[in-house]
Amino acid sequence: MSVEEPLFFLIESAQSGDTLYACFYRMSCVDIAEAFNDATDRGVSVYFITDDDYGNTGAYSMLDSTNVMMGNSSNFMHNKFLVLKSSAVWVSSANLTENGLLNENNNALLIYSRELADVYEREFLHMWEGNFSGDKDLDEHTPARVTVDGVDIEVNFSPYVTATHNSSSLIERLIDSASDSVFFSIFTFSFNETRIKNALRRARLRGVEVKGVVDSSQGTSRETRRRLIKDGMDILLDGNPYNLHHKFAVIDHGTEDALVITGSYNWTPDANSVHDENFLVIHSTAVASLYWQEFQNNYSVAVGGEATRGDSAVDDVIVYPSPARDTEKVTLGYTLSSAVSEVEVRVYTLSGEEVISISPGFYPGADNEIIWDLKNSSGNSVAGGLYFLKVTATTGDGDFSETEKFAVIR
């Protein structure tokens, strides 16, 4: 089931006299705006909070209702949830955009629970009163805990920070509790997020299996990946030509203590301290199994194999400037191990068509770079669009590759 199907179902199930509380960082999907407008026409009260960076071009201009608020002028109102009052909550990592719903890797949960809906309603109304980010009463909210059909669910909002609790420290403690495995798919994992990063290191040192997939377009995630690989962890770059936009982790899959962390919360200091966010901690072996399967799907198409990471034949592949805007050349950079005997550099279109193949001179055991004139193998300038750079290095153990996504803007 796609992430938007239960969202449409929840909107369409609201009838006259019901109330919908929608809280989304971005909305540009016309079909969903029309579904909200249809709900308003049915007599449903629709209240919508969006981020001020996108409100005027998204929800503000698309919704018939006047009950729309733009919040958090200095930071992000980054939530993605919908509440049917006293009934259900749809919680997701997806923005209400075509890419978010159709192209990116995202996840969503539709949970029927009056208690959970009430928790999210209180947070929504607190923001509706103008309390965003630093304006929130930091001592007012603590993590809520509800039980739905026997499943224990913890609800967390940012940026409620106290001496004993904040979102980053909670995720740190959950990872510290892992006895078997930690698998995660994260859009942005900042190398400045030291609590979570160090918790993963401690988990690895005590024998916990740690695997992750991070989005290849996020420079800070790439740097975090590089540092964690040096600590022996198995972290890949995503293989989606759009984005891996998940924000979830599965801890101790396959055990009775299995749990899932998911929501709008990227693993960054800003998500912890200044952005309006939410995430759930779901203590369920069944839910953990579903998210573990999604992680395996992400991992199976991600970039880099075990041997590539272990030998580090090629690493730190980069294109700059990216996006390449109104320029006639870019620099293709990469780092090679001392064991490399041959290098092949190829550029591909988004559809997988080879643009050019280069066999450059290179320096083993050092940073390397070449200048590409943005022309294909026929000598013609490439068109604007998304491309992939693939650097393949040959050692005595075989061929190893790293890939980088970049954009050309004409």
In a domain, 202, yes or no: yes
* 211 and 348 co-located in one domain: no
pLDDT in the model for residue 162: 61
In a domain, 331, yes or no: yes
CA distance readout (Å), 17 to 41, 44, 133, 277: 11, 6, 31, 28
List of E strands, 176-327: 181-186, 209-214, 234-237, 247-251, 259-263, 277-283, 314-320, 324-325
Phi, psi angle pair for 91, to nearest 5°: -120, 135
* 346 and 294 co-located in one domain: no
- Of the residues 131, 158, 174, the one at which a domain ends: 131
Instruction: Decide if 262 contacts 247 (C-beta within 8 A).
Output: yes
What one-character DSSP code corresponds to residue 380? P
* 94 and 16 co-located in one domain: yes
Phi, psi angle pair for 4, to nearest 5°: -85, -20
Nearest alpha carbon to residue 92 among 166, 29, 182 = 29
Instruction: Decide if 233 contacts 200 (C-beta within 8 A).
Output: yes
- Which CATH number is 324's domain given? 2.60.40.4070
Q: What torsion do the CA atoms of 397, 399, 404, 405 make, to the nearest 10 degrees?
A: -150
What one-character DSSP code corresponds to residue 53? T
Distance CA 197, CA 155 (A): 22
- Which CATH number is 17's domain given? 3.30.870.10
Q: What torsion do the CA atoms of 299, 301, 306, 310 make, to the nearest 10 degrees?
A: -90
Instruction: Decide if 278 contacts 91 (C-beta within 8 A).
Output: yes
Q: For residue 336, what are the β-bridge partners?
A: 314
pLDDT in the model for residue 410: 87
* 153 and 280 co-located in one domain: yes
- Of the residues 131, 159, 191, the one at which a domain ends: 131
pLDDT in the model for residue 166: 85
Q: What is the CA radius of gyration of the chain?
A: 23
* 376 and 251 co-located in one domain: no
pLDDT in the model for residue 135: 72
* 200 and 187 co-located in one domain: yes
Angle subtended by helix axes 219-230 and 194-205, to nearest 10: 30
* 49 and 152 co-located in one domain: no
Distance CA 26, CA 79 (A): 9
Distance CA 246, CA 188 (A): 9
In a domain, 214, yes or no: yes
Give residues with Cβ within 8 angstroms of 86, minimum separation 6: 114, 117, 118, 121
In a domain, 139, yes or no: no
* 126 and 163 co-located in one domain: no
Per-residue pLDDT of the chain (410 residues; tens, 9 = 90+): 789 999 999 999 999 999 999 999 999 899 999 999 999 999 999 999 998 877 656 666 788 877 888 876 678 999 999 999 999 999 999 999 989 999 999 999 999 999 999 999 999 999 999 888 867 765 555 578 999 999 999 999 988 766 567 889 999 999 999 999 999 999 999 989 999 999 999 999 999 999 999 998 888 888 888 889 888 899 999 988 889 999 999 999 999 999 999 999 999 999 998 899 999 999 999 999 999 999 999 998 887 533 333 346 888 898 988 888 888 999 998 888 878 889 999 999 988 899 999 999 888 877 788 999 999 999 999 999 999 999 999 887 778 888 999 999 98
Give residues with Cβ within 8 angstroms of 89, minimum separation 6: 81, 82, 83, 109, 110, 111, 113, 116, 117, 120
Distance CA 154, CA 26 (A): 25
* 202 and 338 co-located in one domain: no
pLDDT in the model for residue 183: 97
- Which tokens belong to 64? 């018939």
Full domain range(s) for residue 114? 4-131
Distance CA 241, CA 216 (A): 9
Amino acid 399 reads D
* 160 and 269 co-located in one domain: yes
Distance CA 37, CA 166 (A): 37
- Of the residues 303, 330, 345, the one at which a domain ends: 303
Instruction: Decide if 114 contacts 130 (C-beta within 8 A).
Output: no
In a domain, 138, yes or no: no
In a domain, 242, yes or no: yes
Torsion-angle region of 43 (φ positive above 0: left; ψ -120 to 50: alpha; else: beta)? left
pLDDT in the model for residue 268: 95
- Which tokens belong to 109? 């949960």
In a domain, 163, yes or no: yes
Give residues with Cβ within 8 angstroms of 241, minimum separation 6: 350, 386, 388, 405
* 287 and 335 co-located in one domain: no
Give residues with Cβ within 8 angstroms of 153, minimum separation 6: 111, 116, 145, 146, 147, 280, 281, 282, 283
* 212 and 291 co-located in one domain: yes
Domain count, the chain: 3
Give residues with Cβ within 8 angstroms of 58, minimum separation 6: 26, 27, 28, 50
In a domain, 53, yes or no: yes
